[in-house]
C-alpha cells in the first residue's frame, strides 16, 4: 500500500536538495559545503554556511554556525549550542543536541526528530513518519505529522499546537499503526491539538494543552502512561 500527502511533495523536496549540487563537489560557494555522495562533518565552532549532500549524513559539532542544511538520504545532527536556519531531509533522522537552535523549520519525510534539553526551533517541525521527541525543548510554530508518534516531555513548550494529518495521494508507504501522542508532566502545548485520523492521545494531569479535536485525551499521573 502506498499513499501521498500534498503537504510533503517528495519529488520537489529531492529536487530542492539535489539540484544545487549538480556538477559540484565539495565547496559550492563561499562558506558553503556540498557533496553528491558522502557524509559531511562540520567541525566545532566552524561557520559553515549552507551544507548539502544527496547520499550521506550531515553532522555539525558543538557551536557550529550553519544556514540551510539539506540531504536526501541521510540524517542530520546539530551539536550542542550550534545553530542553523533550516534542516531538511527525505530519509533520515534529525537530532538537535543540548541548546541547539534552528531559526526556521525542520522538514522530514521518513525519519525521526529528536530535540534535546534546551533545543529551540523557531519554525514548524514537520514529518510524515517517524517519532518526534521533545525533551525540555521548544517549538514555536507547531508540530505536524501524518503517521509519527509524538512525545513531549520535561519542560517542553510547543506553540502553534499539534496536527496529525490524514494520509492522501501516492508516494510513500504509510504504516497502519495508530500514532501514540504523549504530553508529559510539565509540558505545555499552546494552540489546538487537531487529529484528522485515529490516534492514542495521553495527557499528564500536570500538563497544559489547548483545545482537542478528533481524539479523546486519556489522562495519566506519574512520569508516563502505561505501555
Distance CA 187, CA 198 (A): 22
In a domain, 114, yes or no: yes
Is residue 85 included in any domain, yes or no?
Answer: yes
Q: What pLDDT sits at residue 48?
A: 79
Q: Within a 10 A sphere around the Cβ of 156, how many other Cβ atoms?
A: 24
Q: What is the pTM of this model?
A: 0.87
227 falls within a domain: no
Q: What is the C-alpha separation between 177 and 2, in angstroms, rounded?
A: 14
| Spatial distance between the Cα atoms of 46 and 198, rounded to a whole number of angstroms | 44
Q: Which of 90, 94, 62 is nearest to 77 (CA)?
A: 94
In a domain, 61, yes or no: yes
Structural domain contains residue 163: yes
Backbone dihedral angles phi then psi of residue 87, each to the nearest 5 degrees: -130, 130
CB atoms within 10 A of CB 216: 9
The answer to the question of residue 145 being in a domain is yes
Q: What is the pLDDT along the chain (227 residues), one digit of tens a residue?
A: 334 434 445 545 554 555 554 444 444 444 679 888 999 999 998 887 899 999 999 999 999 999 999 999 999 999 999 999 999 999 999 999 999 999 999 999 999 999 999 999 999 999 999 999 999 999 999 999 999 999 999 999 999 999 999 987 644 556 678 999 999 999 999 999 999 999 999 999 999 999 999 999 999 999 999 88
Residue 4 lies in a domain: no
Three-state SS sequence of 48-67 = EEEEECCECCEEECCCCEEE
Q: Residue 122 in contact with residue 102, Cβ under 8 Å?
A: yes
**Distance in angstroms (rounded) separating the CA atoms of residues 84 and 46:** 12
67-76 pLDDT, tens digit each:
999 999 999 9
Sign for the CA dihedral angle at 210, 105, 65, 149 comes to positive
The 10s digit of each residue's pLDDT in 107-144 is 999 999 999 999 999 999 999 999 999 999 999 999 99
Residue 225 lies in a domain: no
Instruction: Give the range of the structural domain holding residue 195, as residue numbers without chain letter.
Output: 10-220
Strands of 150-153's sheet in order across: 40-42, 58-60, 76-78, 94-96, 113-115, 132-135, 150-153, 180-183, 200-204, 218-220
Cell numbers of 129, please?
513518519
- What total number of domains does the chain contain? 1
Q: Are 181 and 200 in contact (CB under 8 A)?
A: yes
- Rounded CA separation 93/112 (Å): 5
Amino acid at each position: 500500500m502506498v499513499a501521498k500527502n500534498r503537504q510533503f511533495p517528495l519529488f520537489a523536496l529531492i529536487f530542492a536538495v539535489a539540484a544545487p549540487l549538480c556538477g559540484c563537489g565539495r565547496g559550492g560557494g563561499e562558506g558553503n559545503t556540498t557533496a553528491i555522495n558522502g557524509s559531511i562533518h562540520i567541525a566545532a565552532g566552524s561557520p559553515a554556511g549552507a551544507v548539502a549532500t544527496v547520499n550521506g549524513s550531515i553532522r555539525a559539532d558543538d557551536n557550529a554556525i550553519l544556514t540551510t542544511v539539506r540531504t536526501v538520504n541521510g540524517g542530520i545532527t546539530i551539536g550542542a549550542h550550534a545553530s542553523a536556519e533550516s534542516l531538511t531531509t527525505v530519509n533520515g533522522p534529525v537530532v538537535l543536541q543540548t541548546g541547539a537552535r534552528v531559526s526556521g523549520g525542520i522538514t522530514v519525510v521518513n525519519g525521526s526528530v529528536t530535540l534535546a534539553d534546551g533545543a529551540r526551533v523557531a519554525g514548524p517541525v514537520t514529518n510524515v513518519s517517524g517519532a518526534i521527541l521533545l525533551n525540555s525543548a521548544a517549538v514555536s510554530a507547531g508540530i505536524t505529522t501524518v503517521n509519527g508518534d509524538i512525545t513531549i516531555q520535561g519542560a517542553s513548550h510547543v506553540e502553534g499546537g499539534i496536527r496529525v494529518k490524514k494520509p492522501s495521494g501516492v508516494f510513500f508507504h504509510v504504516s497502519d499503526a495508530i500514532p501514540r501522542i504523549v504530553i508529559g508532566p510539565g509540558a505545555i502545548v499552546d494552540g489546538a491539538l487537531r487529529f484528522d485520523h485515529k490516534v492514542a492521545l495521553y495527557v499528564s494531569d500536570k500538563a497544559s494543552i489547548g483545545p482537542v479535536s478528533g481524539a479523546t485525551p486519556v489522562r495519566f499521573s506519574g512520569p508516563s502512561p502505561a505501555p
